Amino acid sequence: MLYIISTNRFLQGLLSSLLIISFIAGASTARASGVAENRYMGMSLDQLMKIKITSVSKSEETLSDAAAAIFVITQEDIRRSGATTIPEALRMAPGIQVAHIDANKWAITARGFNGKYANKLLVLLDGRTLYTPLYSGVYWDVQDTMLEDIDRIEVIRGPGATLWGSNAVNGVINIITKSAGASQGTVVAGGAGNQERGFGQGRFGGQIGNFYYRVYGKGFYRASYPFGINAYDNSSSPKTGSDANDAWSSTRGGFRTDWAISSSDSLTVQGDIYTGYSQEIVNFQGLPSVGILYDKGNVSGGNVLSRWHHKFTDDFNLTVQMYYDRTERSQYEYDITQDTWDLDMQQTIPLPWNQHCIIGFGYRYNIDSISTHLAKLFAPDSKELHWISGFIQDEISIIPRKLKFILGSKFESNDYTGFEIQPSARLSWKPTRNQTFWTAISRAVRTPSRADENLDVYAVDIPSAGPIAGMRMKMQGSSNFKSEKLLAYEIGYRIQSAKNISLDIAGFWNEYDDLRTLERVSSGFDFTTMQYYSNYVFKNKQSGHTYGVELAGTIKPFPWWTIYAAYSWLHYNISNDSDSGNTLGMPDTFSPDQQFSIRSYIDLPKNFELDTCLYYSGSIQDYSIPSYTRIDLRLGWKPANWMDLSLMLENLLDNQHPEFGGSDEGVVSTEVPRSFYTKITFSF
């Protein structure tokens, strides 16, 4: 009963918020000029290959010309996939592993090394870095925005450190939202289902002269996932199929303004604020007094970003970006507050002999405060971190529009390892207008996190009978922890063989050194406490290589039918050093060796749409996760230009299935159930 009451109150509050947004929009004197069209709808393959991207070179270039393994998820892809979260939208990209841990947590990575805090993938939202310095990973449960406002997601597989810096080791995900001018008018949407119990959102965009703005609000409540096989509580009673108490709720709002100050100057200011909670079940195997814990983690935060662009000439311009980000999180092991200030400057410089040069400077400051619970702590409990960086990249057109060479490097100083250099060299050749060959060699590093250096964990195992008190275990970070290093070799080929067929192939060989291990440094028996003890420290005693291939293809057999297919294969050859006693799992046991997806978008008569997505993932050895095939189906109907109705069916082949394990932080993994939801959208 309490559950029903709380859910109804949430939906009532959400509906009231949407009605208020709609009323304000209707009463505004700055009327919108009309709803901006989705610029990707109805594009031919030739037009899609000419989409302007910025993530590869930090300047505009067409997708077909990029000398990197890049895939673009468009707004139309997001809408027709039926995705309700950013992580679910990322399933469409080849070479990206997206796996649910529970109802509100994902393990997401590129080219392997997956985990709850996968630390070799850099994620950005409109130029704002989303990773946490605590673990160098991403808290995916707080990364959100109104999906209708996302223009595109640029996904780079392979190093992007020359431009983006440390932690852009195996890939970069750059989420880019629409300008305020491209999101005019009013949009109100809502829906519900068996897992998506209730969600709603509203956005209004307006204009005053050359000043464009938009505001939005959204909220949702998502039900818990079921337990999987062999799940037990403290009484050893089987819990298979029962509610896992990992529900998720969030409320968020934000704004964006874009002001064309003059023909040479433009200013963007945007920000978000959010609050919510994400539940989970935690298994403390080493703390019998705690055992199974049902936790409700509370999260809140906000950010504000400004970006000024000045154009001196067509090939000489300056961009200055600043942002502040605050994150607050309270969960079973700690309460943490993090504040980040970031300054980034970038300038293009005209040079002779067909050169395009970009230089940049960056400074980031982070301070955190951690209050620990139970057996986990960081020492010290508050720390300031500084990053100073600069980069230079020169693109040389050896043969204009045919052959170009790109050379650059990132220079970075951090508080853990000092000075780091991350260079790259890329070569692109276009023998014909519709073909591109490219190759690259790059160096990237994953710099230490707070956990690598400052983790200090004390845990007590199950007590022994008699006079022996039990086992004491201690796990610590190390002040001597090094950066994890990558030297990557890549090659690719991109072709549009006809007006309705395109193919993109990328191959890579990655050499890793100084990968993280957990080593036992001492053990014995303490006669004072009558305990056995073992002490462990993070070190860098693992190395090796990976290699693989990724394919993405598109075919439009008819103007009303588009098919996308993607395949990736990954092989590991990673080993511990001869003197290592590493107790962490090997990285090849956390990622599938093969993934495959196929998406079909069909435009039916009478403005109906039928969209099908199939995803296949190979098995994950370490957690005994079997391979699975997932099919999602969406039926859409647009009875009028201002109304859009859809029915989404997810995971049609299984009642439920696991996608990842839960060793990270002791979180017990749950399983993805079959689900459905309906959605209605009004656009004015």
- Ranking 169-173, 274-278, 621-625, 661-665 by mean pLDDT, the lowest is 661-665
Q: How far apart are alpha carbons 46 and 51 in whole angstroms?
A: 9
Instruction: Scan for tokens 């196929």, then name that residue.
Output: 598
Q: How far apart are alpha carbons 186 and 196 in whole angstroms?
A: 23
- Counting residues of the chain whose pLDDT is more than 90, the rounded percentage is 65
Q: How far apart are alpha carbons 612 and 57 in whole angstroms?
A: 34
Per-residue confidence band for 33, with pLDDT thresholds at 50, 70 and 90: very low
Q: In angstroms, what is the C-alpha Rg of the chain?
A: 25
Which residue type does 399 have? I
Work out whether the CA dihedral 218, 224, 229, 235 comes out positive or negative.
Answer: positive
How are beta strands 403-414 and 418-429 bridged, if at all? antiparallel
Q: With contact defined as beta carbons under 8 Å apart, do 345 and 309 qualify? A: no
Q: Is the pLDDT of residue 151 over 60?
A: yes
Q: How far apart are alpha carbons 141 and 139 in whole angstroms?
A: 6
Q: Is the pLDDT of residue 146 over 50?
A: yes
Q: How far apart are alpha carbons 124 and 154 in whole angstroms?
A: 10
pLDDT of residue 11: 40
Q: How far apart are alpha carbons 175 and 66 in whole angstroms?
A: 18
Q: What is the pLDDT of residues 478-524, one digit of tens each?
A: 999 999 999 999 999 999 887 889 999 999 999 999 999 999 988 88
Q: What is the DSSP letter of 593?
A: S
pLDDT of residue 457: 77
Q: Is the pLDDT of residue 658 over 70?
A: yes
- Supply the DSSP string of 77-144, one letter for each residue: HHHHHT--SHHHHGGGSTTEEEEEEETTEEEEEESS--STT--SEEEEETTEE--BTTTTB--GGG--
651: CB partners within 8 A, 6+ apart? 630, 631, 632, 657, 672, 673, 674, 675
Q: What is the pLDDT of residues 563-580, one digit of tens each?
A: 999 999 999 999 999 999
Q: Which of 97, 92, 96, 84 is nearest to 625 (CA)?
A: 97
Q: What is the pLDDT of residues 199-225, one digit of tens each?
A: 999 999 999 999 999 999 999 999 999
Q: How far apart are alpha carbons 119 and 449 in whole angstroms?
A: 9
Q: With contact defined as beta carbons under 8 Å apart, do 142 and 274 qualify? A: yes
Q: What is the pLDDT of residues 312-362, one digit of tens each?
A: 988 889 999 999 999 999 987 789 999 999 999 999 988 888 888 999 999
Choice between 631 and 535, residue whose per-residue pLDDT is larger:
631
pLDDT of residue 26: 37
266: CB partners within 8 A, 6+ apart? 258, 259, 260, 308, 309
Choice between 622 and 515, residue whose per-residue pLDDT is larger:
515
Task: Output phi, psi for 394, to 5 deg.
Answer: -120, 125
Q: How far apart are alpha carbons 612 and 80 in whole angstroms?
A: 9
The model carries a pTM of 0.90
Tokens linked to 77? 């892809």
- Ranking 17-26, 222-231, 253-262, 497-506 by mean pLDDT, the lowest is 17-26
Peptide bond into 592 cis (omega under 30): no
Q: Which of 205, 187, 325, 303 is nearest to 257 (CA)?
A: 205
Q: Which of 315, 314, 275, 313 is nearest to 297 (CA)?
A: 275
Choice between 504 and 233, residue whose per-residue pLDDT is larger:
504
Structural domains in the chain?
2-683 (2.40.170.20)
- Ranking 181-195, 204-218, 373-387, 434-448 by mean pLDDT, the lowest is 373-387
N-term to C-term CA, the chain: 38
Tokens linked to 91? 């399933």
Q: With contact defined as beta carbons under 8 Å apart, do 214 and 201 qualify? A: no
Strand partners, 446: 484
3-state secondary structure of 450: helix
CA dihedral of 51, 53, 57, 61, whole degrees rounded to 10: 30
To the nearest whole number, what is the mean pLDDT of the chain? Answer: 86
Choice between 657 and 288, residue whose per-residue pLDDT is larger:
657
Q: What is the pLDDT of residues 66-97, one digit of tens each?
A: 889 999 999 999 999 999 999 999 999 999 99
Q: What is the pLDDT of residues 127-137, one digit of tens each?
A: 999 989 988 89
pLDDT of residue 234: 45
pLDDT of residue 532: 76
How are beta strands 171-177 and 121-125 bridged, if at all? parallel
Burial class (CB in 10 A: 0-12, 13-18, 19+), 616: middle
Q: How far apart are alpha carbons 50 and 56 in whole angstroms?
A: 15
Per-residue confidence band for 662, with pLDDT thresholds at 50, 70 and 90: low
pLDDT of residue 289: 47
Q: How far apart are alpha carbons 601 and 28 in whole angstroms?
A: 37
Q: Which of 203, 182, 150, 216 is nearest to 35 (CA)?
A: 182
Largest CA distance in the chain: 82
Q: With contact defined as beta carbons under 8 Å apart, do 360 and 347 qualify? A: yes
pLDDT of residue 468: 53
Q: What is the pLDDT of residues 442-467, one digit of tens each?
A: 999 999 999 999 988 766 554 554 55
Q: With contact defined as beta carbons under 8 Å apart, do 164 and 172 qualify? A: yes
Instruction: Scan for tokens 């990249």, then name that residue.
Output: 393
pLDDT of residue 482: 95
pLDDT of residue 316: 87
How are beta strands 672-673 and 656-657 bridged, if at all? antiparallel
